[in-house]
Amino acid sequence: MMRKPYKHFVLFVLVGAFATLGTTASQTDTSLAQTAAKPNILFILADDMKASDLDHMPNTQSLLTNQGVKFTKAWVTRSLCCPSRATILRGQYTHNHKVWVNVEPEGGFPRFFNQGLESSTIATWLDAGGYETVLIGKYLNRYGNDTPTTHVPPGWDKWYAWEGMYGGTDTSYQINENGQIVTYQRSQIHDTDLHAQTAENFIRNTANNNTPFFMYLAPNAPHHPSYYAPRHASMFSSTALPKPSSFNEADVSDKPKWVRSKPRLSSTQISDMTQFYRKRLRALQSVDEMVKRLVDTLSATGELSNTYIVFTSDNGIYLGEHRLTDKAAAYNAAPRVPLVVRGPGVPAGVTRSQMALNNDLAPTFASWAGVAPPAFVDGRSLSPLLSANPPTSWRTAFLVEHRSSPEEFGYVKAIPEYYAVRTDRYSYVEYPITPTHPTKETELYDLNADPTELTSLHASASHQAVISELKARLEELKQCSGTGPTQPSCEAAEGR
Ligand SMILES: [Ca+2]
Ligand SMILES: [Ca+2]
């Protein structure tokens, strides 16, 4: 682990500056306090949570949304767990970190590990910047999956990571606690409650030593199988499944073959989906209580005013939209995620409609920590959007991408490889010809006229000009890279 040189460095520079300028003692104290106190960062990452699920989390609404900025157009650039988490750790599009799926060889923790990507992540950057770093919960899919692992990646001072997938079995789960594998019984403690306890202990211990912390807190909720605590069992028992106009879409003749081949949902499927929705909301109640518990802990330890709290999810999910379940497609509900930020200088109770991406989280944390992100980072700091006067220009497009592999789950494999560009107005999707997809297909949705993507306009004569523009935009985005010698940077391809 890196040493923590930061505080000593700042002290030296400031003392030198004040000696030169002859600053008064009281000004010195104030400036020193402001500069030396790097902010804490509490990052809470739900798993498969829809943006609309926030409506059922009262603590998160009152303590985070109402106290900070809510992004109404927050997206992930690949709506699948492991690729999105690799993006969050590195600030890169999937085509640049190349963790395409959840399982090896083209995805999962082994893909991240084998490429050496652990050597430069948000953890190593902040660790080198003087932060006490901790991960609690889910790391990357397939970490400790077949045999439990004691591996702790570089950059993390403290480590409490899930072994295996889906939060263990029905009766127990295992956590790698700083290199030691510990087994918990579900009858003893619910996993999110355990994470809340671990997080609270960490905050209390760190508050004493004046070191800023970065906490990556990633509960399993509300991901299938959506284990919930017994105290929440009676909640939401009559809550209706949301049915937007895209629910069980009647006419899918406008859509590509892989969607056209899906039958309409049966009443049994809808009933099962409703039960799943209710279990998800119950599982999220432990997350909501954890938010309150940690805000209370930060307040009690005097850290709250100097802590950024970020709440988001690695991807959304379909619960019947366009006849779909699961994720990884380009339609709204899977790439769309909740994103709420509160913290020092962040205005309270406001919304931002600029496009924010999972690519942006790592560079945002880096900017708060005062460290420069590496050149490979594709995303940009959201910090300008968190001021009272956000910039008038921002990215005007971004890329959503998807590839599968023969080893993946059926629902991932069922979606042909595609690349999509989203702007404020349009979503344009291209499914290229591949060995398993012999005919090129495209989709175009005008999100102003058709926000739930019911009618693809790809064959509309009057839309061919805009399709040409979007195609050109898509080609640039597919190639974009922070480091390539000839490619456009992603920031240039997305627009400013
Ligand atoms: Ca997920
Ligand atoms: Ca339709």
Task: Work out the average pLDDT over 63-76.
Answer: 98
Residue 22 pLDDT exceeds 50: no
Residue 29 pLDDT exceeds 80: no
Nearest ligand to the CA atom of 248 = 2
Query: How long is the chain?
Result: 496
Task: Work out the average pLDDT over 225-245.
Answer: 98
Pairing of strands 350-352, 307-313: unpaired
Q: Per residue in 430-464, pLDDT tens?
A: 999 999 999 999 999 999 999 999 999 999 999 99
Q: What do you get for the CA distance between the two ends of the chain, in Å?
A: 37
Residue 252 pLDDT exceeds 60: yes
User: For residues 496 and 127, which has the higher predicted lDDT (pLDDT)?
Assistant: 127
CA distances from 93 to 98, 353, 359, 418, 489 (A): 8, 21, 7, 14, 11
Task: Work out the average pLDDT over 293-307.
Answer: 97
- Find where tokens 């480091």 sit: 483
Q: Which residue is catalytic, options 81, 82, 480, 490?
A: 81
pLDDT value for 496: 83
Strands (DSSP E) found in 227-358: 307-313, 318-319, 325-326, 339-342, 350-352, 356-357
Task: Work out the average pLDDT over 309-338.
Answer: 98
Nearest ligand to the CA atom of 412 = 1
Tokens of residue 396, six digits: 């005007």
* Distance from Cα 260 to the centre of ligand 2, integer Å: 10
pLDDT value for 484: 60
pLDDT value for 36: 54
Residue 19 pLDDT exceeds 60: no
- Find where tokens 């050149």 sit: 375
* Distance from Cα 263 to the centre of ligand 2, integer Å: 13
Element (H, E) at 198: helix 191-207
Strands (DSSP E) found in 190-286: 213-218
Calpha distance 163→82 (Å, rounded) = 14
* Distance from Cα 116 to the centre of ligand 1, integer Å: 23
Listed residue (395, 417, 410) closest to 477, CA to CA: 395
Residue 315 pLDDT exceeds 70: yes
Ligand 2 is a single-atom ion; what residues have CB below 5 A from it? 251, 254, 454
Confidence of residue 181 (pLDDT cuts 50, 70, 90): very high
Handedness of CA 113, 118, 122, 126 (dihedral sign): positive
Nearest ligand to the CA atom of 323 = 2
**81 annotated active-site:** yes
CA 189 from chain centre, in angstroms, equals 26
**Mean pLDDT of the chain, nearest integer:** 92
* Distance from Cα 246 to the centre of ligand 2, integer Å: 8
The model carries a pTM of 0.93
Task: Work out the average pLDDT over 381-399.
Answer: 97
Calpha distance 55→63 (Å, rounded) = 13
pLDDT value for 166: 66
* Distance from Cα 335 to the centre of ligand 2, integer Å: 19
Tokens of residue 441, six digits: 């297909």
Nearest ligand to the CA atom of 85 = 1
Residue 131 pLDDT exceeds 50: yes
Confidence of residue 223 (pLDDT cuts 50, 70, 90): very high
Nearest ligand to the CA atom of 245 = 2
* Distance from Cα 326 to the centre of ligand 1, integer Å: 10
Residue 265 pLDDT exceeds 80: yes
* Distance from Cα 453 to the centre of ligand 2, integer Å: 7
* Distance from Cα 109 to the centre of ligand 1, integer Å: 14
Are 337 and 49 contacting, i.e. CB atoms less than 8 angstroms apart? yes
Task: Work out the average pLDDT over 40-61.
Answer: 98
Pairing of strands 307-313, 339-342: antiparallel
Listed residue (205, 192, 222, 210) closest to 293, CA to CA: 192
* Distance from Cα 48 to the centre of ligand 1, integer Å: 4
Residue 425 pLDDT exceeds 50: yes
Confidence of residue 1 (pLDDT cuts 50, 70, 90): very low
Task: Work out the average pLDDT over 179-188.
Answer: 96
Residue 256 pLDDT exceeds 70: yes
Q: Of the given ranges (164-178, 297-311, 322-336, 387-401), which has the lowest mean pLDDT? A: 164-178
Residue 387 burial (CB count, 10 A): 12
